[in-house]
A = this chain, B = another copy of it.
Amino acid sequence: MKQLRLSLVGFGVVGQGFAELLATKHDLLRSHYDFEVKLVGVANSQGFIYREEGLDIPTLLELGKRRAALTQHPGVQSWKNALDGVRATRGDVLVEVTGTNLRDAEPAISHIRAALTQNMHVITANKGPGALAAIDLMHLAHEHHVQLRMEATVMAGTPVLSTIREGLAGARVRSIRGILNGTTNYILSAMAGGRNYSDVLAEAQAQGYAETDPTADVEGYDAVAKALILSALVFGHTVTIDQVVREGITQVTKEQIHKANHENKRIKLLTSLHVVADLGECPLDVRVEPQALPLSDPLARVDGVMNAITFQTDTLSEVTVIGPGAGSVQTAQGLLADLIAIAKS
């Protein structure tokens, strides 16, 4: 049976969720997909631990839960930071799930470059590297004959990138429209029901759907990051953040919501990518902005924290995928699907 040696960089909510899913799915991976995973390295902000014979997932989860040092795991080597640990050790797959940074994508992008350069496949849920450098990183992976996969960066484990690249293989995507941020959709859905922006935001923060600093969500930056990933991976174009028309939801008024309801429409924070020319500096029109969608549009009915995406292609008029766009298990599912794809190849 094939064995994949895996290092996991990032051991917060997503990293711990993935480790837990690996344990849950251990038997299934053996019986159904004919491989097993040996988790050999794990890093959090305190450093990187490594054990050639494999780490014990229950022990790691227990350490993670009480925020204890990972070096308390028996029999490990350790490094003060993840990058040193990745460089000093070897494995088949790096799973990168540190927090997203859209300024320079660090430290994730360094972890990913290091792993690809030493011929490790990389799976990531971190939107920074894909948003800022997807095409470069894909080339680097290609040079080293390994895969770089990032299903979990767009709508968590709901299949989006694999749907376009594998499910719709051979089709030419002409445009993409989506609701790619759950926090803003939760707020707008509640506002459509008559509530106030500030009340709903406070509630979303209390329920953990929104961050204490909600800027990345409510100003549209999270959706922009996903649009940049789609630009690169679906259309093959590097689009920069300042080439995206971006407007968040903080200026959406009660009057606009009311008017939309009255016209049988719903205001959604819509992410859209359209091909505008075959050649040229930026042949894509990329936007994140509130739009009033008629109820006949499948996206108009997607409420709460659910996400959705619609592709228009040359062969299939319109295909829509609706599903969860966040959450620990949901994100781990996206990482798992990528891992299985790598094991099969």
Using CB atoms, name the residue of chain B closest to A167. B159
Using CB atoms, name the residue of chain B closest to A22. B170
Is A341 interfacial (CB-CB < 8 Å)? yes
Contact present for B321 and A321 (CB under 8 Å): yes
**Interface 1/0s, chain A 162-181, versus B by CB < 8 A?**
11001111111000000000
Which bracket fits the contact residues of A? 35 or more
Is A21 interfacial (CB-CB < 8 Å)? yes
**Interface 1/0s, chain A 312-337, versus B by CB < 8 A?**
01011111111110000110110011
Query: A298 is contacted by which of B172, B301, B324, B336 (Cβ under 8 Å)?
Result: B301
Using CB atoms, name the residue of chain B closest to A151. B167
- On whether A315 and B329 interact (CB within 8 A), knowing A301-B301, A321-B321, the answer reads yes
Contact present for A316 and B333 (CB under 8 Å): yes
Complex interface: chain B residues within 8 A of A159 (CB): 163, 166-168, 319
Complex interface: chain B residues within 8 A of A319 (CB): 158-159, 321-324
Give A250 Cβ to nearest chain B Cβ, in Å.
Answer: 28
Query: A324 is contacted by which of B157, B168, B316, B323 (Cβ under 8 Å)?
Result: B316
- On whether A166 and B169 interact (CB within 8 A), knowing A301-B301, A333-B316, the answer reads no
Interface residues of A in 1-38 (CB under 8 A from B): 21, 25, 28-29, 33
Using CB atoms, name the residue of chain B closest to A323. B319
Contact present for B320 and A168 (CB under 8 Å): no
- On whether A341 and B298 interact (CB within 8 A), knowing A315-B332, A320-B323, the answer reads no
**Please, how many angstroms separate the alpha-carbon atoms of A332 and B313 in the complex?**
13
Complex interface: chain B residues within 8 A of A316 (CB): 156-158, 323-324, 330, 333
Query: A333 is contacted by which of B295, B315, B321, B332 (Cβ under 8 Å)?
Result: B315
Task: Beyond A158-B319, A168-B333, list 16 extra A-B contacts (CB 8 Å).
Answer: A29-B170, A33-B169, A158-B316, A159-B163, A159-B168, A163-B321, A166-B167, A170-B333, A170-B336, A298-B298, A298-B302, A298-B322, A315-B329, A315-B332, A318-B323, A321-B321
